[in-house]
């Protein structure tokens, strides 16, 4: 379906159709997996079509996935990477020695590790802070600040940052704003509409949705930035394989159906946990008790299946996570099946302990990725262990 024909259509219709058109030779309704490394040229230096000269530069299956994320995020272009971290890395690789980045302190653990262990060594400067408070961000801006990197909601504390406010702060300072939208998915939040320059995903999570592919995606609007990122990807090489692109494209076709169920299961479980005496604290932006519930309702259309709870001690966190039968004890999130984890010992083990504790990532903190199973079965599973 052409871009013009799609305008005015609802999210679910776009999730099914965006980026995909019948294959010209056979009319195949699904974009084929173009499993090829190179393309035969008609004459020296003359590819048959556009940039189809080598698989790192261009691949039709990958392009279909890229066109799809561009539409769903309401951007102009999409760029696919071999992982979410490769996508974040590409955004940071636009910068040069001495440039300064302000990053939300409670990002995905791997993002912090990329910034502190590799990018700092190469001469970029980072300030990590609580981006919930725009005045803290404003105070940290320097002449060299080129990028503000947010994650909202954050992992695993479900902190929110005000995307429109931080976008204008960034732009007034001559910097760009990137938002890791992995937790929300474009079904629930579209940062480009709120002023961000880049929206970035670990498509490993909700977008693919079936826990069987590692991938990353960026959507953006600016043609020059698109060219820069395509150049970085071609030159650095972090491209996804055609089969992974095809699987992710297939996953995206049911994104809206899955997200509706994730959102409603997530809310039901957050409410159940909030009323349970064994649970000290529930972190879920969809609950009125969340300190940023108003902002959540303003910039999000739904609140996902991600719920974190504090059980007070590691002992209790282990008892819960190790004795459930439907929730599987595993890292990752956003798949159809429910997962549960202890961030301090698993996903966030690489964050220094004093920073973890200062933020509230206590040993008793448990993160649930609520899947799309039946709500009653999930609650019964939790209730069987929590008592």
34 or 206: whose CB is closer to ligand PLP?
206
Tell me the residue number closest to ligand PLP, measured at CB. 84
**Does residue 253 have an active-site annotation?**
no
Q: How far apart are CA 119 and CA 306, in angstroms?
A: 29
Catalytic, out of 93, 205, 233, 367 = 205
Q: How far apart are CA 288 and CA 65, in angstroms?
A: 36
| 54 secondary structure, DSSP code | B
Residue 205 binds to ligand PLP (criterion: CB under 6 A): yes
* Min separation Cβ 38 and ligand PLP, Å: 27
Q: Which two tokens stand for residue 328?
A: 């599987």
Residue 241 binds to ligand PLP (criterion: CB under 6 A): no
180 or 381: whose CB is closer to ligand PLP?
180
Q: How far apart are CA 191 and CA 167, in angstroms?
A: 10
* Min separation Cβ 386 and ligand PLP, Å: 26
Binding to ligand PLP, residues 88-147 (CB under 6 A): 108, 110-111
* Min separation Cβ 304 and ligand PLP, Å: 11
Site pattern 156..195 for ligand PLP (x: CB under 6 A): ------------------------x-xx------------
Residue 214 binds to ligand PLP (criterion: CB under 6 A): yes
At 282 the three-state DSSP class reads strand
Rounded to 5 degrees, φ, ψ at 323 are -120, 10
Q: Are 296 and 160 in contact (CB under 8 A)?
A: yes
Helix or strand (DSSP H, E) at 100: strand 100-104
**Does residue 212 have an active-site annotation?**
no
**Stretch of 127-135, 198-206, 247-255, 370-378 contacting ligand PLP, by CB under 6 A:** 198-206
Binding to ligand PLP, residues 34-93 (CB under 6 A): 83-85
Q: Give 150-175 as a DSSP string.
A: EESS-TTT-----HHHHHHHHHHTT-
14 or 304: whose CB is closer to ligand PLP?
304
Among 103, 161, 189, 204, which residue interacts with ligand PLP (rule: CB under 6 A)? 204
Beta carbons within 8 Å of 10's beta carbon, 6+ residues apart: none
**Does residue 205 have an active-site annotation?**
yes
* Min separation Cβ 125 and ligand PLP, Å: 21
Query: Rounded to 5 degrees, what angle do the CA atoms 56, 62, 67 make?
Result: 130
Q: How far apart are CA 21 and CA 114, in angstroms?
A: 37
Helices within the chain (DSSP H only): 3-6, 11-17, 60-72, 84-92, 109-113, 134-140, 163-172, 185-188, 223-236, 242-252, 255-274, 293-299, 314-322, 353-359, 375-386
66 or 151: whose CB is closer to ligand PLP?
151
**Does residue 284 have an active-site annotation?**
no
* Min separation Cβ 189 and ligand PLP, Å: 13
* Min separation Cβ 355 and ligand PLP, Å: 17
CA 23 to chain centre: 30
Catalytic, out of 6, 56, 113, 165 = 56
Among 75, 186, 191, 216, which residue interacts with ligand PLP (rule: CB under 6 A)? 216
CA 34 to chain centre: 26
Query: Rounded to 5 degrees, what angle do the CA atoms 134, 140, 142 make?
Result: 125
* Min separation Cβ 347 and ligand PLP, Å: 8
Q: How far apart are CA 330 and CA 35, in angstroms?
A: 31
| 32 secondary structure, DSSP code | P
Among 77, 106, 152, 155, which residue interacts with ligand PLP (rule: CB under 6 A)? 155
**Stretch of 51-59, 70-78, 200-208, 305-313 contacting ligand PLP, by CB under 6 A:** 200-208
Q: Which residues are catalytically annotated? A: 56, 108, 180, 205
Q: Which residues bind ligand PLP (CB under 6 A)?
A: 83-85, 108, 110-111, 151, 155, 180, 182-183, 202, 204-205, 214, 216
């Amino acid at each position: 379906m052409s871009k013009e024909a799609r305008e005015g259509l609802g999210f679910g219709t776009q999730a099914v159709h965006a980026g995909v058109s019948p294959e010209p030779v056979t009319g195949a309704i699904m974009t084929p997996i173009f499993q090829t490394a190179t393309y035969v040229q008609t004459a020296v230096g003359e590819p048959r079509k556009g940039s189809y000269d080598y698989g790192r530069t261009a691949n039709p299956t990958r392009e279909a996935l890229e066109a799809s994320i561009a539409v769903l995020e309401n951007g102009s272009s999409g760029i696919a990477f071999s992982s979410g971290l490769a996508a974040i890395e590409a955004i940071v690789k636009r910068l040069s020695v001495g440039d300064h980045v302000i990053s939300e302190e409670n990002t995905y653990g791997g993002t912090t590790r990329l910034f502190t262990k590799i990018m700092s060594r190469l001469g970029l400067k980072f300030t990590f802070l609580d981006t919930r408070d725009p005045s803290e961000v404003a105070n940290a801006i320097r002449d060299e600040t080129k990028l503000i990197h947010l994650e909202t909601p954050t992992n695993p504390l479900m902190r929110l940052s005000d995307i429109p406010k931080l976008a204008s702060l960034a732009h007034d300072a001559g910097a760009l704003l990137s938002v890791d939208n992995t937790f929300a998915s474009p079904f629930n939040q579209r940062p480009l509409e709120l002023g961000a320059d880049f929206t970035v995903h670990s498509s490993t999570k909700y977008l693919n949705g079936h826990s069987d592919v590692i991938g990353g995606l960026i959507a953006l609007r600016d043609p020059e930035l698109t060219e820069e990122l395509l150049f970085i990807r071609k030159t650095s090489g972090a491209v996804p394989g055609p089969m992974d692109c095809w699987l992710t494209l297939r996953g995206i076709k049911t994104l809206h159906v899955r997200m509706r169920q994730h959102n409603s299961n997530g809310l039901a479980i957050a409410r159940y946990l909030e009323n349970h005496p064994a649970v000290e604290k529930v972190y879920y932006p969809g609950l009125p008790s969340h300190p940023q519930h108003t902002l959540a309702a303003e910039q999000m259309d739904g609140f996902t299946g991600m719920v974190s709870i504090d059980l007070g001690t590691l002992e209790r966190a282990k008892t819960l996570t190790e004795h459930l039968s439907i929730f599987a004890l595993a890292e990752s999130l956003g798949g159809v099946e429910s997962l549960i984890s202890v961030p301090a010992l698993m996903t966030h083990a690489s964050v220094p302990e004093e920073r973890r504790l200062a933020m509230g990532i206590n040993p008793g903190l448990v993160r649930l990725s609520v899947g799309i199973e039946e709500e009653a079965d999930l609650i019964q599973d939790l209730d069987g262990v929590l008592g």
